[in-house]
Amino acid sequence: MLGSVQISGEEIGDIETNDICLSLRQNSIRLLAIRGCRIQDKNYRQIMECLKENSSLSHLNLNLGIVKSKERVIWLAEGIKGNTGIGTLLLHGNSIGDEGLSILVPAIEKHPNLINLDLGDCHIGDDGLSALCNLVKPSNKRTSQLQEVTLTGNRDITQSGWAQLAMALAHYTHVTKLYLDYNNIGDFGAGLLAVSLSSCKSLKYIDLEGCGITDAGAELLCDAIESYNVTLHDLNLAQNEVSDEIVKELKECLQENKTNNYYS
């Protein structure tokens, strides 16, 4: 059985780096998690180089400040280009920004097995989200089929960015879970998502916790689910100014979707 390497909040020096690289070269691990650790560029780059040679890894977690420079984004992009087995890539809490995402996207879109991508709290703005939308737009040239996307806490994204995402989702057939919590979405953004839900046939879960949505935006979402969408099963609207009455209506619509899908 393949093992895992999980290191959190520690110093990763030459010895630890060599151990990680040995596990990667030997294809003996399925999960590698380096979270909030202190690691020098030379050691980080060495691990990314070994990543290219590995064929066993399916889960890569570099959350909390590991990918903290443009150079590290470039080395990561080169690493995942050479490793086609990774299915989950977690980059939550890294200052990747729009420039970094423009570097990562070309590597991700050619990746055949990546289905789960976490870019929460990565300082992404409209330009970065536009680049990410290339991964969810229909294309015969792209091999990646993302199913779960996390964009939590990227508050630099404006309504223009959410409009880009809504248009992309309206035509994409693979994304099933979307985490947009703690963003500046508001009622206008909720309306954009409602329009995309009218034609999107894949989404089963959306997290909109703490997104500044009121009854006006929630009603638009409810109307879209009630009249057009048949796939959405769960919608998180916690920490928004939405009345209990509308929350109840939403739950009834979502329950009807669940029931219809169960018996279909």
The CA distances from residue 56 to 59, 231, 264, in Å, are 9, 33, 37
Query: What is the per-residue pLDDT for 230?
Result: 84
Q: Whole-prediction pTM value? A: 0.95
Which residues span the domain enclosing 75?
3-263
Predicted pLDDT of residue 26: 97
What is the predicted pLDDT for the residue at 2? 83
Separation CA 198–CA 204 (nearest Å): 13
User: How many domains does the chain fold into?
Assistant: 1
We report the CATH number of the domain holding residue 9 as 3.80.10.10
Residue closest to 217 by CA, chosen among 191, 240, 237:
191
CA diameter of the chain: 59
**Cβ-based burial of 124 (10 A; exposed 0-12, middle 13-18, buried ≥19):** buried
- Ranges under pLDDT 70 in the chain: 1, 137-144, 260-264
Question: pLDDT exceeding 90 applies to what percent of the chain?
Answer: 84
Residue 119 near residue 151, CB atoms below 8 Å: yes
Mean pLDDT of the chain: 93
Using alpha carbons, list the distances in angstroms from residue 83 to 17, 68, 116. 18, 21, 15
Cα distance between residue 209 and residue 231, in whole Å: 20
**9 conformational bin, left if phi > 0, alpha if psi -120 to 50, beta if neither:** left
Q: How confident is the model at residue 264, as a pLDDT? A: 39
Q: Are strands 205-207 and 116-118 parallel, antiparallel or unpaired?
A: unpaired
Backbone φ and ψ of 87, nearest 5°: -105, -25
Helix (H, G, I), strand (E, B) or coil at 31: strand
Q: What's the chain's length in residues?
A: 264
What is the per-residue pLDDT across 25-40, written as a single tens digit (0 to 9) for each?
Answer: 999 999 999 999 999 9
Strands 116-118 and 148-150 turn out to be parallel
Q: What is the pLDDT of residue 263?
A: 37
Interatomic CA distance for residues 118 and 181, integer angstroms? 12
